[in-house]
Structure 1
Amino acid sequence: MVRRFTEANELLNDLLDRYEGGTANPIAHPDYDAFPNVVTADLFLRQIARAEAVGAVSLARGRGTRRDQIVHVRLQAADPLYHYLGRVPAAQIAQDAGKRLCADIALDWRLAEAASAIAENWKRAKSWHGFASSDVDKLRDAFSLAQAILENRHLDVDYRTFSRRVVGDSKALERVEGAVVRLLGGILELPPGARPREALRTIGLERFAPPLLIAGRIDLDGADLSQISPRYLGIPPNEADRIRFRRPPAYLLSIENFASFNRHVAEADPDRLGATMYVGGYPSLATQQALRTIAEMVSGNTPIFHWSDIDPDGTWIFHTIERAVGRPIRPHLMSVEIAERSGQVPLRKAAPARCPADSGIAVLAAYLAGDGAKTLEQEELNPVLPDPTGPP
């Protein structure tokens, strides 16, 4: 694409911009048809001529009657042009910013590699996910916060307190949470389709843990709730050890979607034969730990199920709960057969969870990784009781 200008400084800066972007000898053209008057055109030509005089650019001129016109301007030498324009080279700015980015921060080697790659981007006058070298202080906070997470300094601390303790600003994490998740994405297993705040919840960083909702024939500590019989209870996840089963549940079932949770409790299991728990989408670390605590309360013969959407996020949630519980769990209403029968091919394909062959969700994950796989939101299905002996 031919670049044409009526402002000399714009043309000269454009040459340097493209040079910093990797073009060896960029060219730009005067836009003679766009000059508003002769005075403006003369000023443009004088300024370009001065840049030529200092050895910064070379000029190609026309022929015949147009021999006095400049056909194009080519970058001859970058250093004289930087000096002529009073502009600091991007490489120098990037070098200074790169040094400031990690100064006095003891980084995990994987974060250090990311910092080096970002500095290289800046040297080529490119941003990193919208962060330019001028944003170094903001991105420095992101590195400090990511490092603190790798050191587990975020555990049992709310969102803003963690941010204040690490970088001295309680709202800093909210401003750079996307960058923090990108930095950690290649190190920790985070849900690929989640928003940054949802992804951070899964590793234990949230404002405050949402309540764990559980339905079943349950009491709390020594309190007998049989006379109250609420549809379900909500308790802080870290108090899951207070739950007592009045009798062994026929099954444990965790459910991703709130509407499906309510429907299952009211329609599929009104007699509370099993224990049903709402995990709230991507399960927070506190919720994951609560599920493990509850699973340890029941016999190893008690079947454990999970019900999510039939899509890549659903497989990620399933496998996360599977690892958290530490016991085999089975998919409920999550099968290739249901997907083929009731699902639709999504407009955009996403990667399913990476899971071992012996995972309860491995078959569905392999299906979703293939071409033409169909997905289905769990709200499309009517709730039914889990069948410990049959297919989902």
Structure 2
Amino acid sequence: MTDRPIKLNKRQKEVLKALLDKFEKSKTYRGENAVNQSFKVKPSDFFRDYDSDFANLDEQEDFERELFGLEDAGLIQLSKKNGVIKSIDMVPAAQDSFYSLLGRTELKQLEDSQISMYKSHIGKNEVLDLFCKTQIKRLEERKKAEYEMPVASEIINILEYISSNTEEILERELSIELFGDSKRFKRDYRSKVLTVLRKYGDFGDLIENVPDDREQGHAILAEYNVFPNPTYVNFKGKGTLCLKDGKKIELSPSLAIAIDASTLGRIENVIVNASRIVTVENLTSFNRVQDEDAFFIYLAGYHNTAKQNFIRKIAESNLDKEWFHFGDIDPDGFYILEHLKKKTGIAFKQLCMSVDELKEYKEYCKPLESNDIKKAKSLIDKGLYVDTMRYVLENNVKLEQEVISWKQEAFRMTNGCNPSYWIIHHSHHD
């Protein structure tokens, strides 16, 4: 190669890049090839109409002039026939110049650097270990890592931060903390971080039946105390809220209390002065239900670790209480119930979640969607809520719990029934 400085235009760089890519993918680059290889590309890869009868002659001449410039610099060798360039060959001795002219790091050096980076993060937590070890394996097998180096490094930093996070933090606050920019986490990294967590984390029970990707993302990040907005636990009923600082707050069935998730850790225990504790899936129903002898907790659909810990704390201080769950009569509603049982270890009874309610309020039922059918069959295969799911499938129906809480409360008020009427008469085992 000539010592004369050369300034490359965009197309000349594309030619050198294509040749270097071929070289780095070869056995020759790895020192595994016993036979000398040549590396070449076609002119039409960069100028589609180069050898066409319809080529613009001025453009053709410009292209050839660019290639001659590379050849004069000792970077390539042109193979011609009848004055037409047929192939562009790499000059093996000029490989180092390719890297310097393109400002590119040699592949083996880049791989070693990436492997070293991934190894430095092993041993911090299980998700990171699986992610990093997988990337190392890919690189050692001469495959690309899942993410380019700068992006992978940021993903790892985010995962390390949230894995050690013990207090509620909002997504925009997380973004400010890590990037000094309230929107960058959501814009550049949120979906990538969630992809890694879904692939390498153990969230099967949590996300298997969450209806859509958006809700799945919220549920996964909530496990790390990361929320899009502040989250609250709502509850009402007779009892006493005992705080760790010794303060006590008297609770009433007619006065719903909402406590943000970050404050739950300040609660020592909750003394419930009612026979029953009822978790409620949806807010409308939570506001509607009344029962002097029940303590209600609003879950907001799929519940996170903070709410699970709060429920367990209540259970530990109230061992003599009956536990019920009131939710939608659809497959998602039953998956929420099952998830609640598994995560808290409490033997919840179903409340107003049976075939009886589907029959009683059939005029308010909705038809199933394709996801509902799949989930209902999955529950049956697992031997869970079989009778209700079979009825749901055979009759193509599902029912929102808001219908039940509205109608039951209206019936109670009209007929002067005790507030406990609907709970006593509508609890089920399945």
Q: Which residue of 1 aligns with 2:347?
A: 328
Residue 109 of structure 2 corresponds to which residue in structure 1?
92
Q: Using a 3 Å threshold, how does the CA distance of structure 1 residues 389 and 254 change in structure 2: closer, same or farther?
A: closer
Structure-2 separation of matches of 1:132 and 1:143: 16
Structure 2 unaligned spans of 5+: 1-9, 28-38, 243-247, 409-421
Give the match's secondary structure for 2:202: coil
Aligned to 1:3: none
Matching residue's letter, 1:154:
N
Deviations 1:167-214 (A, max 9, x none): 898989777555554444434325354454542323545599733211
1:237 aligned counterpart, secondary structure: helix
Q: Is the Cα–Cα contact under 8 Å of residues 308 and 318 in structure 1 kept in the other structure?
A: no
Q: Deviations over 1:88-142 (max 9, x none)?
A: 23443233133124436634466334214335667868563xx412334313413
Where do 1:351-362 residues align within 5 Å? none
Asked if 2 retains the 8 angstrom alpha-carbon contact of 1:201 and 1:284, the reply is yes
Aligned to 1:44: 66
Cα distance change on mapping 1:198 and 1:205 into 2, 3 Å = same
In the other structure, the counterpart of 2:283 is: 258
Cα distance in 2, alignment partners of residues 374 and 79 from structure 1: 68
Gaps of 5+ in 1: 1-5
Distance 1:44 1:344, change over 3 A: farther
1:154 equivalent to 2:165? Answer yes
- Alpha carbons of structure 1 residues 73 and 39: separation in structure 2 relative to 1, 3 Å: closer
| TM-score when normalising by structure 2 | 0.61
Kept after mapping to 2: 8 A contact 1:319/1:359: no
| Structure-2 residue corresponding to 1:232 | 256
Distance 1:50 1:289, change over 3 A: same
Are the structure 2 counterparts of residues 176 and 199 from structure 1 closer, same or farther at C-alpha, using a change threshold of 3 Å?
A: same
Q: Aligned to 2:11, which of 7, 10, 28?
A: 7
Q: Residue deviations 1:239-286, cap 9 Å, x none?
A: 66553333323xx33223323433xx3xxx334443221123332322
Secondary structure of the residue that 1:289 maps to in structure 2? Answer: helix
Aligned residue identity for 2:286:
F
Q: Which of 324, 327, 344 is the matching residue for 2:368? A: 344
**Identity level (%):** 14
- Alignment pair present for 1:282 and 2:299: no
Aligned equivalents of 1:349 and 1:20: distance in 2? 50
More helix by share: 2
Is the 8 Å Cα contact of residues 30 and 71 (structure 1) preserved in structure 2? no
**What is the rounded CA distance, in whole Å, between the counterparts of 1:260 and 1:71 in structure 2?**
75
TM-superposed CA distance for 1:357, in Å, is 8.6
Alignment match of 1:304 (pick from 296, 301, 324): 324
After TM superposition, the structure 1 = structure 2 runs for residues 172-191 of structure 1, keeping only pairs within 5 Å, are 176=189, 178-185=191-198, 186-189=200-203, 190-191=206-207
User: Cα distance, 1:288 vs. partner?
Assistant: 0.8
Per-residue CA deviation, residues 211-240 of structure 1 (Å, 9 max, x unaligned), is 3211333444566556xx534222443466
Larger-gyration structure (1/2): 2
Change (3 A) 1:389 1:7: closer
In 2: Cα distance, 1:118 partner to 1:374 partner:
46
Shift of residue 46, structure 1, vs aligned partner: 1.1
State the one-letter code of the partner of 1:40: D
| Matching of residue 319 in structure 1 with residue 341 in structure 2 | no
Pair 1:211-2:232 in alignment: yes
- Alignment partner, residue 36 of structure 2: none
1:233–1:360 Cα change, 3 Å: farther
TM-score computed with the length of structure 1 as normaliser: 0.65
Which residue identity does 1:46 align to in structure 2? F
With over 3 angstroms needed to count, the CA separation of the structure-2 counterparts of 1:316 and 1:106, relative to structure 1, is same
Partners of 2:158 and 2:178 within 8 A in 1: no
CA distance, structure 2, for counterparts of residue 47 and residue 375 of structure 1: 74
Range with bigger deviation, 186-195 or 202-211: 202-211
In structure 2, give the amino acid aligned to 1:255.
Answer: V
**Aligned counterparts of 2:90 and 2:375: Cα–Cα separation in 1:** 45
Given that residues 329 and 399 in structure 2 are in contact (C-alpha distance below 8 angstroms), is that contact kept between their aligned partners in structure 1?
yes
Q: Distance in 2 between matches of 1:35 and 1:256?
A: 72
